[in-house]
A and B are shown apart, each in its own frame.
Chain A
């Protein structure tokens, strides 16, 4: 067996070992907060544009923000949550991230 082939096979074995490790982390939530001036239809349009959700889901989330004062609109890895939060802020909504409890 050549050195190159040996090295490739050895790295493959290492990879197989590492994939067996299950990493569990609490997800990060992107939270959108209510405010008294933003038109409801604007919130729906922003959710649809940023997350690509259906109209129904966007409307449900918008109503949750309106009635409960906040809604979790996305959950997942920290870097993606941060990126979505920034996109929502750029679109003019009040958004933050928080670690899921």
Chain B
């Protein structure tokens, strides 16, 4: 099974990225969308990236929301910059995991896929994209 793992923790602590070109293209698309969503106020993922912190009040503390925006952007940009790397360090791997997870949830929410039934019934290319991101995350989580 080890041969099928997409990410592998090496003895020196680095995480080896075993994605082929097609896999890296999917990651590029996911990271690129998160970066675009953070820069474009009209992006369809914008609401997903700006959820309420305390739903009982009208507006959250601007410092906290700005901090969140900065951290999401920083992670996404670091992930994007390391797309071609064969090995990731701990911080880069965390940036990949966070950004892939944000892309996964944003894709599902923006298409209204909020239940397992709706997820199973969605169009094949979309389901394929979601399942691929899940597989990346599953493999990456195993070695973080």
Contact = CB atoms under 8 A, between A and B. Distances in A.
Contact of A86 (B67, B75, B100, B142): B67
A35 B112 CA distance: 12
Interface of B: 51-56, 61, 64, 67-68, 71-72, 75, 94, 97-102, 104-105, 108-109, 113-116, 118-119, 130, 134, 137-138, 141-142, 144
Contacts, number: 88
Contacts of A61: none
22 contacts: A35-B114, A36-B114, A36-B115, A37-B113, A37-B119, A42-B137, A45-B97, A49-B94, A49-B144, A82-B54, A82-B61, A87-B71, A89-B53, A90-B98, A92-B100, A92-B102, A92-B105, A93-B101, A96-B51, A96-B53, A96-B55, A98-B56
B94 A97 contact: no
Which 6 A-B pairs rank lowest in CB-CB distance, beginning with the nearest? A92-B101, A92-B102, A41-B141, A90-B71, A37-B108, A45-B141
Interface residues on A, range: 20 to 34
Nearest to B49: A89
Given A45-B97, A45-B144, 11 more contacts: A37-B134, A38-B104, A41-B141, A44-B141, A46-B101, A86-B53, A86-B68, A91-B101, A92-B99, A92-B100, A98-B54
A85 interface: yes
Give chain B's interface secondary structure class: helix
Given A36-B113, A82-B61, A90-B75, A96 B52 contact: yes
Nearest to B131: A37
A94 interface: yes
Interface of A: 35-39, 41-42, 44-46, 49, 82-83, 85-87, 89-94, 96-99
Chain A CB within 10 Å, residue with most, of B55, B118, B130, B141: B141
